[in-house]
Structure 1
Amino acid sequence: MKTSLIASPRHTLARLLWVWRWWFFCLGCFSAIPLAIYQSDLGMDRSLAAMFSPADPTLNQYQHLQQNFGGNLIVMLVYEDADLMTPEGVARNQAWTASAESIDGVRGVLSVAKLVEAFAYIRPQFSLLTGAIPADPGAPSPPSKMLEKDDPAANSFRDLFAGYTHGQDEKTAAIVAMLQPGQTETAIEELQRLADQIPSERAPVLIGEPVLLDDAFDMIQADGNRLALGTIGLLSLVMLLTLRDYRIVLLAAMAIIWATLCTRASIVAMGMEMSLVSTILIAIIAVIVVAAVMHIGVRSRDNLGETKQSNMNESIVHVSAFLAIPILWTCLTDAAGFASLLESEVRPVRQFGAMTAVAALAIVAALIWFTAALMSLPTGKRKTSQPMSSDDQPTPSRKFLVHLVSTSLRHSNLLSITSIVVLVLCTAMVTQLKTETSFLKNFRETSDIVRAYERVEDQLGGAGVWDVVLPAPATITPEYIARVQAFETQLRELEVIDSSSGRTHRLTKVLSLADADRVAAMSPLLSIVTPEVRLAGMRTAIPTFADALLTFDPPSDGGDRELRIMLRSEESLPGEVKRELIDRVTLMAQDFDEQALVTGYSVLMSQLVSSLLRDQWKALAIALALVGILIGIATGSWRYALVALLTNTLPIMLVLAVMGLAGGGLDLGSAMIGAVSIGLSIDGSIHFLAGYQRGRSAGMESMSAATDAATDVAAPIFLATLALVIGFGILMTSPFIPTATFGMLIAATLAASAWINLTLLPAAIVSVDRFTNTH
């Protein structure tokens, strides 16, 4: 049998690295200095826009909304006040409103106190018609007419803003702050300080999509740091306890550091920033490095036990030559798997693919710099026993592995057929999994964030915020206002039934200046003027709110004016219901006017999750194709490449199918599981195929070659998998559910991959060889 690329030793290259080992070591160390300096400028983009491609139409529509209506970054300071609709409650609200309005980065505020000012435009405190003129100009102002319960206009005005500035029961207040883009983080910090100053018995809380996203970034960054430290620490401990070789731990540490610096410097050079996804970069680098050096450590330990100390240097050269090509191909397939993410439409995922592909190649360079020099350091070990002769009994662990592999080989045909059937069934099940589009579902139910949003859902009528943008005429006419009001009535009557639960869902709030105009027209004085005049007066009374709902001044580019309808829905809607609701609102808006847009935070987040999950299948297909091509080139056999793809796809689909049977669904955490798992689990397959082909080239029968190859790579695979499962398992405690899901899925997939690579892969390879030889 012809020796393949991964099975061919490269003694010339190994000896070259050995002779020049300290020069390579110095080159690696000194090159780290400029890399460390250059990568220090790497930042993180925490904006929502950073998650989308600049050309994404969903993002463009959202940016159009921001540009025409002065931004859409809104947070709400919510607190309890049983006396809200009293002069005392309004006074408290006024004081906190003024404090919020004075914060840098807050471009406008809407609150009950602001409504009181606006209602004075509709119902002045005094009127020439009634003669109700205050006798003493210095006397306190009388209570606002907006607080009167028997005034139809006041009741309609309060109902109009119920769900925004106050709850339906008028015992929950919300100070709505519109933030200035570019100053979001500072403004949120100051608003949080204001919330902390409100008495705790009023249960103050700051909420809103910018706050939610900011908290998510904080959690994910913390999870990334915890994963990096936990994984590296556990891997180092496992290597030290199992191999008892400090050189391997030192090699892994230096390779991780150098590859991380090189990757981060490359990110800066490519003009990218760290993002929501890339916080796990260091952990991914640690995984690939340890998977490689574990093979070096196990092979060095075994060779040292069979080699005299005087021949240790020759042994290290042999090990380097033996493993250099398989490790190189492993890193190349890792890079190919991660590079498949470059086809994603979600920018952070695409950038993560580029980062990890660079990291896999940087690891190759790091191992070249440091392996020979560090492995030439004295081990401090003394040879205490003679090598095991052919008459010696194998260890219990090896006997178990031989029995396990032999059993699999005896049933190779059955295992191969069964695996194909299981793969098809699992893939069919995974395609039917439900997707979770609620960003609130990314947090645990016991978290303060979820509890705060539950208050908004219950007391303010829904935390899902989105918008409809309609073209408006140069002059707002009664006919246009009537059309908008009729359209809003259709939106309020829209119902979507959840097929799984039978529940009926609808929009919880629909609000525009057409509604404000209807209330203003109830005033005898304002009923005789045109809607354009009434809305101009409303702009004078509450300018920030009015400008956020209508472009009063025609755009400079000569386009049409636009009117915005603010929508609210339950944030916790099931994914299918939310998508159907968005789709039906979009169709209704298009019927009103073909230029109408439906956008907003809820729409963006729904589109983001859908894009991630759609990209998952595309990325997985590309990863399988690229990895298959590389393995085919490396082994010289397309049959072996197909078998390797089968054994590395099965664990992914099996784990996702089990998750579905347990009641789980697809979310942000499972969006990259396919490509990442392929990149991480392929290591065992490549090393097995290299050993198998070496055995076959030496004249061994297929079953013997498979048994020897599987037992030879079993120790490093099991040891590395144990450490990685524990390392990624750390993430299961994360308060950010996608991170916990990602950790759980990766850990389970790696465990299943290790088992399959030592049982199914040998069986399938032997079956393929038998079939080929008989035909």
Structure 2
Amino acid sequence: MQTLIRYAIQGRFVLSVIGLLLLVVAYPASARLQTDQSVQALFGDEDPTIRQYHQLKRWFGNDEILVLVYRDGKLDSTEGIERSRRLTERIQTLPGVSAVLSPWVLNQAIEGISNIQLPFGLGSTDSGSLPRLMQADDPIGSGLNDIFTGYTHSANYSHAAVVVMIDESQVSEAVAEIRKVSRQWEQEPDVSQVALIGEPVLVNQAFSLVERDGNRLAMTTIVLLSMVLIVSLLDLRLVVLLSLIIGWTIVMTKATMYWIGIELSLIASILTAIVTVIAVTAVLHLGVRYQGRRRRGLTQQEATFSVMSVMGWPIFWTCMTDAAGFAALWFSEILPVRQFGLMVALASVSVFVAILLFSPLCFLIPELALGSGRFSHHQSLTRWMRRVCFRLSSWFVRHRWLTTAITLGLIAVTVFVVADAETETSFLSNFRDDSAIVNDYGIVENNLGGAGVWDLVVEVDHPITSEQLAKVRTLEQELLDQLGPIGLSKAISIADATEVIGRSATGKWLPAALRIEAMRTRLPSFIDALVSEPLADQPDRQKLRVMLRSPEGLPADQKRELMSRTLSMAQLHVGRWGGAADDVAVSGYYVIMTRLVDQLVNDQWKCFIAAAGLIWLLMSIATQSLRRATAALVPNLLPAFLVLATVSLGGGTINMGAAMIAAVSVGLSIDGSVHLLMVYRRRRDVGRNATESAVSAAGNIGAPVLLATLALVAGFSVLATSEFVPTATFGTLVAWTLIIGTLINLSVLPALVTIGDK
């Protein structure tokens, strides 16, 4: 390492130019890196849940669904239907909108169907004083009213909804345009409580908030760290160095991701924050030790060579253990988590490269005279921190066996608590209760039934017979009867639509195929979304879709039970029809989001074990001691599980932000352990005893570790105010993990490392 550092100092101008040229080359590619704002992107294409979802799209169309809801006290009048018409026609003209369903569209369909005399002859032409949709004595109107109550209007006609089908390739543009329409619609007379809901809205809002929070975290953390560097060390060169390391690492990492064809995802916005965690610790260690050597009278070049020679290996192993910890996320089943792990692993290695490229030049820039008290100010601060760390570590080293017993006991208890913790599967719960989007969903939940929409798909014979449709209606009714008490509020299929046709005098004699076509002429998009074309590989078979509705905010266990029982009941019915279990599937965003958090929680154990194993292996190589590597790993298991157990015991649930903490925290807290063990090893190599070496090591690393933790905790705490709950949870838990990890590295680790070391 000393030879490498010597060449780096001698060629510092060349290295810096190379680094800047690489930055210039990579920047355009990093700027072209795109973000995939879709829930489907959270899993790989081979995932069973996503395969089912893609099949659903292939069978019934690729459109996404948005719902614009508003209160209209005159909906059951000509004026209310006219208002629905104006809103419907306005939305129909927007780019990306492929179809619209509303009370006016239904009323028009009823008028059209009822006016047909031949060949179907499905009703009279008397419309009465009420809109046909609201006429209880109209067989067609009352039938469609029963079907679409809770979808296009409320049961008491106080709220109306426009169900918008949009092309999945234009989701972002369509959501933005419909938002504008909804804001303008609020100004309409006799209209209130305008709300826009739908999975595309939730996901779009989540990405916007996460991106905003990521940028805010990056800016806040960098500013705070710069202030810490200036106030504590009074050295602007360290601010320049930190900015170069962070900027170069981010650009090179994003460019590499672009070159290998990987897109960003929902969790990628915290990249800057993670890079900052790694970079600031390294810079503060370098800065504190550099100034210590300058106070002892070394020249700039001597101090730079000495510091980088001593700190080269600790910083290298810190970056490598960070890379290993995040690379363990590759064991996750969730594609963006794997990609994020790869991205941060690349960034961790890039931090070390950036330090080699820019540190020699920055440290050898002429020093600015910032006052005669420059070193004395820093010396007083670092001496105070050293004394605190000496006293803290000394107490724990003296009580090493008690410390070990308590640490192992806490790990066992917290792992048990976390394993039994409840997960949060409602994507809506990712937003704060007072946010606009939660209020919008509340309007729908309270007035139109559950806002959670999902699908049951069954396979039937082609062409469909009336007997087959009767069996589907029997299945629907049984689902509602048995699962209604636990959350299933609505079920709609092509069987319901054709049953409405059968209520008329002529329609009841028509075969099922003609009934379907009669409905298709009036509601083509809706019918196409319920029944597929004959299957390509089985022309005598086709798929039917049963659209299900349940509350969005159901508890996780209740959601799982609802989906499991729906699937098992449908498989039982299809088995009676002569079909197979594979002919039945449940799918939709509701299912995907439930699976997502469950998978995150399940994956955290695999990733955590992998991270622990990889880091233990690297620490064994770095310290050349299996015992020391084990001593370093044990206390680093504790911070994440301690904060997660606290969340669980406090009545909280494990959401997306909390589920990633276990694996990530090992990489966050291991930095201090690496530096302490490297200093401990040097002390032991020169003949000091284990107790003295451990206490001395804790005091040696105390100032930079405490300064870095102070700034990083303040930076991550900014996320606690985020509207997106997983981000707020992640920021809060990371802050506490950093605090606990720092305290453990300065107290428990010195005690553990001395056990058995003679």
Shorter-chain-normalised TM-score: which range? Answer: over 0.9
Residue 307 of structure 1: aligned partner: 297
Contact 1:728 1:744 in 2 (8 A): yes
Tell me if 1:219 matches 2:198.
Answer: no
What is the CA distance between 1:286 and its match in structure 2? Answer: 1.4
Map of 1:7 onto structure 2:
none
Tell me the equivalent position of 2:320: 332
Q: Secondary structure at the match of 1:73?
A: strand
What is the deviation of 1:117? 2.1
Assess if the C-alpha contact under 8 Å between 1:306 and 1:386 holds in 2.
Answer: no
Distance in 2 (alpha carbons) for counterparts of 1:249 and 1:564: 60
Asked whether the 8 Å contact 2:116–2:123 carries over to 1, the reply is: no
Counterpart pick for 2:311 among 308, 315, 323: 323
Alignment check: 8 A CA contact 2:451 2:552 kept: yes
Q: Which runs of 5+ in 1 are unaligned?
A: 1-9, 135-139, 497-503
Confirm or deny that 1:81 pairs with 2:62.
no
Tell me by how many angstroms 1:94 deviates.
1.3
TM-superposition CA deviations, 1:153-206 (whole Å, max 9, x none): 533331211011101111110110111120111122222222222144422222
Task: Provide the rounded CA distance (Å) in 1 between the counterparts of 2:241 and 2:718.
Answer: 24
Q: 2:170 matched to 1:183?
A: yes
1:554 to 534, 551, 559: 534
Match of 1:711 among 699, 719, 744: 699
Q: C-alpha distance in 2, partners of 1:393/1:260?
A: 32
- Corresponding residue for 2:577? none
Match status 1:513 vs 2:504? no
Would you say the 8 A contact 2:425–2:556 is kept in 1? yes
Q: Which amino acid aligns with 1:84?
A: L
For 1:584, the equivalent position in structure 2 comes to 565
Match status 1:160 vs 2:147 = yes
TM-score, L = length of structure 2: 0.95
Question: Which secondary structure state, in structure 2, belongs to the residue aligned with residue 53 of structure 1?
Answer: coil
Matched-pair contact (CA < 8 Å) for 1:305–1:383: no
Over 3 Å counting, the alpha-carbon distance change for 1:384 and 1:153 in structure 2 is closer
Instruction: State the AA in 2 paired with 1:577.
Output: Q
Deviations 1:78-115 (A, max 9, x none): 11111112122111111211121222211111111111
What secondary structure sits across from 1:423 in the alignment?
Answer: helix
CA distance in 2, matches of 1:468, 1:133: 36
Q: Indicate the residue corresponding to 1:566 in structure 2.
A: 547
Paired AA for residue 513 in structure 2? E
Aligned residue number for residue 108 of structure 1 = 99
Partner of residue 614, structure 2: 626
From the superposition, tell whether residues 185 and 656 of structure 1 become closer, same or farther in structure 2 (CA, over 3 Å).
same
Secondary structure class of the residue paired with 1:467: strand
Task: Please give the alpha-carbon distance, in whole angstroms, between the structure 1 residues aligned to 2:638 and 2:384.
Answer: 29
Deviation at 1:122, TM superposition (A): 4.7
Query: Aligned residues: percent identity?
Result: 39
In the alignment, residue 16 of structure 1 is paired with which amino acid? Answer: Y
State which of 524, 542, 550 in structure 1 corresponds to 2:523: 542
For 2:112 and 2:459, locate their aligned partners in 1 and report how far apart those are by CA, in whole Å. 27
Aligned to 1:529: 510
| Residue 92 in structure 1 maps to residue 79 in structure 2 | no
Q: Secondary structure at 1:710's aligned position in 2? A: helix
Is 1:695–2:683 an aligned residue pair?
Answer: yes
1:274 matched to which residue of 2? 264
Q: Which moved more, 1:699-708 or 1:100-109?
A: 100-109
**1:488 to 2:476 alignment:** yes
> How far apart in 2 are the matches of 1:276 and 1:382?
44
Q: Which residue of the other structure, out of 249, 264, 277, is the alignment partner of 2:254?
A: 264
Shift of 1:142: 7.4
SS in 2 for 1:182: helix
Q: Amino acid of the residue matched to residue 150 of structure 2?
A: G
- Confirm or deny that 1:684 pairs with 2:672: yes
Q: Is the CA contact 2:234–2:370 (under 8 Å) kept in the aligned structure 1?
A: no
Q: State the partner residue of 2:438.
A: 450
Aligned length: 743
Conservation of the 8 A alpha-carbon contact between 1:344 and 1:619: yes
Decide whether the 8 Å contact of 1:121 with 1:538 is kept in 2: no
Tell me what 2:58 maps to: 67
Cα deviation, residue 719, structure 1: 0.3
Match for residue 14 of structure 2?
Answer: 23
Cα distance, 1:386 vs structure 2: 13
Aligned to 1:203, what secondary structure does the other structure show? strand
Q: What's the offset of the Cα at 1:558?
A: 3.9
CA–CA distance in 2 between the matches of 1:383 and 1:704? 36
SS across alignment from 2:137:
coil
Given that residues 471 and 561 in structure 1 are in contact (C-alpha distance below 8 angstroms), is that contact kept between their aligned partners in structure 2?
Answer: yes
C-alpha displacement at 1:396, in angstroms?
4.3
Q: Which residue of 2 aligns with 1:4?
A: none
How far is 1:213 from its partner?
0.7
Per-residue Cα deviation, 1:679-700 (whole angstroms, up to 9, x for no partner): 1211100110011111111110
Tell me whether 1:434 sits opposite 2:422 in the alignment: yes
Distance 1:21 1:184, change over 3 A: same
SS in 2 for 1:160: helix
Aligned to 1:240: 230
* Offset, 1:395: 4.3
* Higher mean displacement: 123-132 or 195-204: 123-132
> What corresponds to 1:501 in structure 2?
none
Kept in 2, the 8 Å contact 1:123–1:145? The answer is no
Q: Structure 1 residue 479: deviation in Å?
A: 1.2
Instruction: Assess if the C-alpha contact under 8 Å between 1:223 and 1:731 holds in 2.
Output: yes
How far off its partner does 1:665 sit?
A: 1.4
Partner Cα distance (1:129, 1:751) in 2: 76
- Among candidates 234, 251, 264, match of residue 241 of structure 2: 251
Deviation at residue 349 of structure 1 after TM alignment: 0.7
Aligned-partner SS, 2:455: strand
Instruction: Tell me which moved more, 409-418 or 113-122.
Output: 113-122
Q: What is the CA distance between 1:345 and its match in structure 2?
A: 1.0
- The secondary structure found in structure 2 opposite 1:466 is strand
Structure 1 235/383 Cα, relative in aligned 2: closer, same or farther at 3 Å? Answer: closer
> SS of the counterpart of 2:456?
strand
Contact 2:135 2:141 in 1 (8 A): yes
Quick one: distance in 1 between partners of 2:382 and 2:329? 45
Corresponding residue for residue 196 of structure 1: 183
1:32 is aligned to 23
- Which whole-Å CA distance do the structure 1 matches of 2:467 and 2:419 have between them? 48
Question: In the alignment, is the contact (CA less than 8 A) between 2:65 and 2:200 conserved in 1?
Answer: yes
The secondary structure found in structure 2 opposite 1:85 is: coil
Q: What secondary structure sits across from 2:755 in the alignment?
A: helix
Q: TM-score, normalised by structure 1?
A: 0.93
Q: 1:113 to 1:228 in 2, by over 3 A?
A: same
Matched, 1:640 2:640: no
1 CA distance for matches of 2:62 and 2:214? 31
Contact 2:122–2:507 (8 Å) recurs in 1: no
- Offset at 1:377? 1.4
Letter in 2 for 1:178: M
1:347 aligns with 2:335: yes
* Distance in 1 of aligned mates of 2:195 and 2:413: 47
Q: Which consecutive residues of structure 2, in runs of 5 or more, have no partner in the other structure?
A: 575-580
| 1:221 to partner: Cα distance | 0.5
Q: Cα offset for 1:554?
A: 2.1
Farther off after superposition, 481-490 or 750-759:
481-490
TM-aligned CA deviation for residue 476 of structure 1: 1.6
1:117 alignment counterpart: 108
1:309-340 CA distances to partner (integer Å, 9 max, x unpaired)? Answer: xx332121111100001000000000000100
The aligned amino acid for 1:44 is T
- Partner Cα separation in structure 1 for residue 381 and residue 648 of structure 2: 46
| Residues 182 and 635 of structure 1: CA distance in aligned 2, closer, same or farther (over 3 Å) | same
**In structure 2, do the counterparts of structure 1 residues 131 and 432 end up closer, same or farther at CA, with 3 Å as the change threshold?**
closer
Letter in 2 for 1:306: R
Residue 614 of structure 1 is matched in structure 2 by 602
CA gap of 1:756–1:129, structure 2 versus 1, over 3 A, is closer
User: Does the 8 Å contact 1:125/1:145 carry over to 2?
Assistant: no
Q: Distance in 2 between matches of 1:516 and 1:21?
A: 76
